[in-house]
Amino acid sequence: MIRVVATTPFEGQKPGTSGLRKKVQVFQQPHYIENFVQALFDSLDAFEGETLVIGGDGRYYNREAIQTVIKMAAAAGFGRLLVGKGGILSTPAASCVIRKHEAFGGIVLSASHNPGGEHGDFGIKYNIGNGGPAPEHVTDAIFERSRTIREYRIVDADEVDLDTLGITRVGDMVVDVIDPVEDYAELMGALFDFDAIRDLFASGFTMRFDAMSAVTGPYATAILEETLGARPGTVMHGAPLPDFGGHHPDPNLVHAKELYDLLMSEDGPDLGAASDGDGDRNMIVGRGRFVTPSDSLAIIAANAKLAPGYKDGIVGIARSMPTSGAADRVAAQLGVKCYETPTGWKFFGNLLDAGLATVCGEESFGTGSNHVREKDGLWAVLMWLNILAARRQSVAEIVAEHWASFGRNYYTRHDYEEVESAAADALVANLREQLASLPGTVINGLTVEKADDFAYHDPVDGSVTTKQGVRVFFADGSRIVYRLSGTGTAGATLRIYLERYEPDPARHDLDTQDALADLIEIARTLPDIEGRTGRRAPTVIT
């Protein structure tokens, strides 16, 4: 029986670059998640009898939200629903399942790398039939509908047993609880040389993978330990927990410090890797050598042909604008184009669907390819394992050879988290007001060559996306980028990206913060960060 429930709109149900993210308590308000899901379904067309995929990262409130979505999907008229056992599906696995089973779309319940638990964050986003995040015209339609909604529809039914594989029915809809790992593991086996990686582990190669008590634990255990033969215990923090074990599930040098310190020790393993809350980000560390996400993208692109799924080479590279120009140099040598897009994986989707790019990456620890339409943390780890198995060199040796061939892009990101939103907005607005007057000025000994606010003209659909980051370029080729991030749930995060290219191999082993010290000082003083925000130092440096 379908029940129609009267409701009133909530303020602020506007999906960001990765869906709607709020504190758990916000989603727990009566009718809150129902309003958003109904607004989502009301914004879609022609899905009667179609298949919908649903899953999440296992964080607090995941199971309750899934039960609600199942009953609303049945009321909306979907014919079949695929849901991961235990409510689990990593974000890349959800994309894989959507694509393999030719689903109409999917709903991913996650706040990605944000903290979990009763007082943590929660999120929900919609992925379209290509497996990627909904484009802006869809998310805009959802938001407009959320502002006028007056009722939602839900089936009165028992809750689905999410812990038992198999088929049940909710109303007229078939619900199939599936193994969350199976389809994804099958795809990875088709892309990478698993025999070579098995031989690598059999040779004594050691690794630690930190799943951060998040969603990739079951995937990494099944693939790395059970399939590829990595020694038991290779996967750290492998059980997904509602509060991520109290961890902040963001694989960077601050929140994955335990892993980083292990790899910097003399008796550390050969490779360290980590993934985030929903499995779409990655961190790569070799013994004694951290690999920046920008360098990782470039090295993966340069070596992609070593993996069977990419043996014919790549057709193009795409990177987010704040990501360093290291991949551009690889693209130039390979004779392919490198596309510079706004931050947000949905911008890569058009390029991938049009066959213009094969490998994509963002500096925020996200890397992927045309195998799915999301960034994919474990995919990046397996690509590195494939490269290491083929080249039989250490991570440090591979990085050093890459820099010797292409030069090194010294690169860092300084994050000021939970800045008061009005202050952050005013800071960026003031920078925009300075753009016309900056060229030709000398700041801290460096001459500004040009300054702009990045805008993207999509080569596939012709759409234009503006105000994507204030950029200041200097005559020596270095640059500073200022951008407000939309992935948090409290205040604003001001991200500052700093980059300088160094072609001389004799200068490739400098400390990054020292190599960029003059740019760091300019980045701090140009917008008067301390005066406008009260912050004397960044929250996180990566």
Active site members? 112
From residue 4, alpha-carbon distances to 17, 38, 154, 156, 158 in Å are 31, 11, 7, 10, 17
- State the Cα–Cα distance between residues 471 and 435, nearest whole angstrom: 9
CB contact burial 27-59 (16+ within 10 A = b; e otherwise):
bbeebbbbbbbbbbbbbbeebeebbbbbbbbbb
Q: Cα dihedral sign for 499, 500, 505, 507?
A: negative
- State the Cα–Cα distance between residues 498 and 477, nearest whole angstrom: 11
Task: Provide the H-helix boundaries in 166-242.
Answer: 182-191, 194-202, 216-220
Residue 37 identity (one-letter amino acid): V
- State the Cα–Cα distance between residues 378 and 214, nearest whole angstrom: 13
Nearest to 43 by CA among 108, 132, 110, 126: 126
- Alpha-carbon Rg for the chain in angstroms: 23
Nearest to 42 by CA among 150, 199, 184: 150
What one-character DSSP code corresponds to residue 160?
P
